[in-house]
A and B are shown apart, each in its own frame.
Chain A
Amino acid sequence: MNPEIRVSDTRKHFIQIIVENRFGVLSRVAGLFSGRGFNIDSLSVAPGLDPSVSQMTIETQGDDHVVEQIIKQLNKLIDVIKVVNLSEFSFLTRETLLIRVNTNTRPGDREEAFRIVEIFRARIIDSSPATYTIEVTGDEDKIEAMLNFLKPLGIKEIIRTGKVAVAREDQKIGPKSAARLSDGDVNYHR
């Protein structure tokens, strides 16, 4: 028998936390991650349906043992009401980006930017003679694909919300790849 805790692969995890909507709770959660050497890849927080609680979505990574500790340590915080490791379920993630791109570097860039926005069902929310500011929402793959398309134009600035995630209502829905096709999102080639 191996006495050491069995090490599994490091994987990405989405953790949803419901906390008391109180002064200082975010710093408790963030401080826990930094103090114990856990990673935060992205974090988003806002009040929930019940205004006395806040919802946090944390994207983190670690092997099974690390993630088990993250969840236990989060639960140990007095202000934390509930912790769910969404990665144990079928779930959806979304992130919103505001992207400012150059549109006048080469001839045709402005039209190209417009086409990319159409393809990815994004929106132009501000425009200047030399730039567009684009709003896009999607999962990681979509965002990454869109950024790859926009890169040749010259991206001036990106503001990201960080990812939010939600478990599917019907947990019996099949594998995640099949689920993505039913999202109604654009199909794109990578």
Chain B
Amino acid sequence: MKMSGAEMLLESLKREKVTHIFGYPGGVVLPVFDALYKDPSLQVILTRHEQGAVHAAEGYARSSNTVGVVLVTSGPGATNTLTGIADANMDSIPLVIITGQVPTKMIGNDAFQEADIIGMSRSCTKHNFLVRKITDLPRIIKEAFYIARSGRPGPVLIDFPKDIILEKADFVYPETVSIRSYNPTIQGNRWQIRKAAQTILKSRKPVLYAGGGIISSEAHKELLDLVTLTNIPTTLTLMGLGALPGNHPRFLGMLGMHGTYAANMAIHDADVLIAVGVRFDDRVTGKIAEFSPHSKVIHIDIDPTSIRKNFHVDVPIVGDARVILKDLIEELREISGGEDAFRHYQPWIEQISEWEKEHPLCYTFDKEVIKPQHVIEKIYQFTQGDCIISTDVGQHQMWTAQFFKFIKPNTWLTSGGLGTMGYGFPAAIGAQKAHPGKRVIAITGEGSFMMNIQEMATVVSLDLPVKIVILNNQYLGMVRQWQEFFYGSRYSSSFIGQSPDFVKLAEAFGMIGMRATRPEQVEDVILDGFSRRGPVLMEFQVDPEENVFPMVPAGGSNIEMIFESPGEKDDPKKRDSILTA
């Protein structure tokens, strides 16, 4: 039977077990939307902006470890997806983005709503395809899904010209996929794993440093097994939160710029660093020359380019984190003869608990003004971690990462690599679609929320019970914090106190709005808001000048953490000198 390109696309998506498509219609993709209208087995989530559609697909993908699918039109529809695609590329989120394109014969003619999205997205996708022949379409879709979800996951874009959308041909979907130039390494090298095991056994002060790769490869069980066997203190990156339960006794908290004192000190003093599914990002390492200066480094990652890109490695192991951790545990069991072999880490663990006592994560509760950290703590107490949390980017993101204890993987959605304001709320929409029965909370700031605020219409029209928590401090808080520390408190363009009345805005969109202005109201608003059935917006008017601590100034060494704001008495010149250091 002959099928049109549009029908072939939908049939192929179904073969890839797709059930939800995040998208926005427009000129050239009308035939695809028409086919979707006739086929109710694929559900379209209509967002109110294409950027929202991509972030929603990211939230869907990350919360369920599947591939998120986006469908948009050509030109502006396609270019609006770029920020989301770049975000997914940095954070290794598997997506397939289908963009409409003007008819093949008009490509290059500056046709209406034409954009060279293949050229534009080349550097922010894992791969992209322009469909040039209808008979190539099934293979391209098969390959796109395979590339998106295998190896180091990432976004793959398919540009789909209108004439091919309409053209008819026989549909043959390939059973298997094989790309001669793409074969990700899964199995780790046996000898390297043995070397890693020996290095770990010989160490006295080991630290595990794990990240988003654990979540992508579903290696959380293996990570827990490794920690249980060896008792090695473990720190997680921002993207890795939830990979080890946040209340695990060996969990040191997050590391890096806003990491815990214990995590950063442990990394610094470690003699062996076991890095798994991480890429030594500059927000993690701080000044690279002073990062973990005494350690032998074991680096496990599926992406060979991540190894030795930023940091030296003594034992590189390329492959899938889950497969390698399994082998590593087996190897350790074999050569160690059991848990007793790891007893000698005890003095190290005691040293670390001293650091934990010395500078725990803390804030000063205030009776008059709401502290943002207090709101996060109350949400944790209320949910006990049984929920999916998304955040935007900035202070609220760091406070959530610090004060919320993520117990399970895939329950934490945040924009790590690209740092995209506007990510969080649409991501929550996607997560809610993937987990209809689960409590999904978008924690955001008034600055970030405004960047994709139009998606309020999406949650209301789909009656998604997403709970929105705005920590409103009237500033672009992280910008203000840097200005306070490094720019002599000159708050250039960071005051945004003229925000709308969020409660009224929620009502205007058709959802419930609530507000807390005083600390004693926090608990009531959380109890009330979270017990409502539909979408609820909760605004917490928090201390405008609260800062995120600890903090490592950009380019500083991780052990030079600061725990308090530079006081009035400080010489402004001295502050400026921190910046240039």
Q: DSSP class of A's interface residues: helix, strand, loop or mixed?
A: mixed
Contact yes or no, A78 B293, CB < 8 A: no
Residue contact B181 to A79, C-beta cutoff 8 Å: yes
Interface string of A76-117 (1 = CB under 8 A from B): 101111000000000000000000000000000000000000
What's the Cα separation between A119 and B6 when bound, in Å? 66
Complex: how many Å from CA A137 to CA B123? 36
A19: chain B residues at CB < 8 Å are 181
A148 on interface, CB distance cutoff 8 Å: no
Is A4 interfacial (CB-CB < 8 Å)?
yes
Complex CA–CA separation, A65 to B312 (angstroms): 10
Does chain A have a CB within 8 A of B289? Answer: yes
Once the chains bind, are A27 and B119 in contact (CB under 8 Å)? yes
Is B333 an interface position by the 8 A CB rule?
A: no
Kindly state whether residue B580 has any CB partner on chain A within 8 Å.
no
Nearest CB in chain A to that of B305: its residue: A72
Closest to A3 in B: B293
Given contacts A20-B181, A23-B130, A73-B305, contact A35 B123 (CB under 8 A): yes
Say yes or no for A128: interface residue by CB 8 A criterion. no
Q: Is the CB of A31 within 8 A of B289?
A: no
Q: Is the CB of B312 within 8 A of A2?
A: yes
Contact A3 B312 (CB under 8 A): yes
Cα–Cα distance between A1 and B295 once the two chains are bound (Å): 8
Whether A24 lies near B130 (C-beta < 8 A) is: yes
State how many angstroms separate the Cβ of B120 from the closest Cβ of chain A.
11
Residue in chain A with minimal CB distance to B307: A72
State in angstroms the CA–CA spacing of A72 and B304 once bound together.
7
A171 to B462, alpha carbons, bound, how many Å?
A: 67
> Does residue B574 face the partner (Cβ distance < 8 Å to A)?
no
Query: How far does the alpha carbon of A73 sit from the alpha carbon of B295 in the complex, in Å?
Result: 27
Q: In which size bucket is the chain B interface?
A: 20 to 34
Interface flags, A4-19, vs B, CB<8A=1, else 0: 1110000000000001
Q: Which residue of A1, A31, A69 is within 8 Å of B122 (Cβ)?
A: A31
Are B147 and A78 interface neighbours, CB within 8 A? yes
Q: Is A76 within 8 A of B304, CB to CB?
A: yes
For B311, list chain A residues within 8 Å (CB).
3-5
CB distance from A25 to the nearest CB of B (A): 10
Interface pair B130/A6, CB less than 8 Å apart: no
A121 neighbours in B (Cβ, 8 Å) = none
* Contact A3–B292 (Cβ < 8 Å): yes
CA distance A1 to B305 in the complex (A): 23
Asked if A78 contacts B182 (CB within 8 A), the reply is: yes
| A31-B123, A75-B304 known; A6-B312 Cβ under 8 A | yes
Within 8 A of B (CB), among A56-79: 65, 68-69, 72-73, 75-76, 78-79
Q: Does B48 contact A (CB under 8 A)?
A: no
Known: A69-B305, A69-B309, A72-B305. A3 touches B179 (CB 8 A): no
Chain A residues with CB below 8 A from B292, complex form: 3
- Shortest B155–chain A CB gap in Å is 13
Residues in A whose Cβ lies below 8 Å from that of B126: 78
User: Is A24 a contact of B118 with CB atoms below 8 Å?
Assistant: yes
CA distance A27 to B123 in the complex (A): 10
A78–B127 touching, CB < 8 Å = yes
Per-residue CB proximity of B121-132 to A under 8 Å, as 1/0? 011001100101
Q: Which residues of A contact B387 (CB under 8 A)?
A: none
Chain B residues with Cβ below 8 Å from A72 are 304-305
Kindly supply a per-residue 1/0 record for chain A positions 107-143, scoring 1 wherever the CB is within 8 Å of any chain B CB and 0 otherwise.
Answer: 0000000000000000000000000000000000000
B181 and A78: CB pair below 8 A? yes
Is the beta-carbon distance between A1 and B293 smaller than 8 angstroms?
A: yes
Query: Chain B residues with Cβ under 8 A from A28's Cβ?
Result: 122
Q: Which residues of A contact B532 (CB under 8 A)?
A: none
B295 / chain A contacts, CB cutoff of 8 Å: 3
Q: Is B288 an interface residue, CB under 8 A from the partner?
A: yes
**Known contacts A3-B289, A3-B292, A35-B123: A65-B305 contact under CB 8 Å:** no
List residues 264-307 of chain B with CB under 8 A from any CB of chain A: 288-296, 303-305
Say yes or no: B181 contacts A81, CB within 8 Å: yes
> Is B308 part of the contact surface with A, judged by Cβ < 8 Å?
yes
Closest residue of A by beta carbon distance from B291: A3
Interface residues of A in 39-70 (CB under 8 A from B): 65, 68-69
Residues of A whose CB lies within 8 Å of any CB of B are 1-6, 19-20, 23-24, 27-28, 31, 35, 65, 68-69, 72-73, 75-76, 78-81
Q: Can you give 18 contacting A-B residue pairs, CB < 8 Å?
A: A1-B294, A3-B288, A3-B289, A3-B290, A3-B291, A3-B292, A3-B311, A5-B308, A5-B310, A20-B181, A23-B132, A24-B118, A75-B304, A76-B303, A76-B304, A76-B305, A78-B182, A81-B180
* B interface residues with partner A (beta carbon < 8 Å): 118-119, 122-123, 126-127, 130, 132, 147, 179-182, 288-296, 303-305, 308-312
- Across chains A and B, which 6 residue pairs bring their CB atoms closest together, nearest first? A81-B181, A78-B127, A72-B305, A3-B293, A35-B123, A72-B304
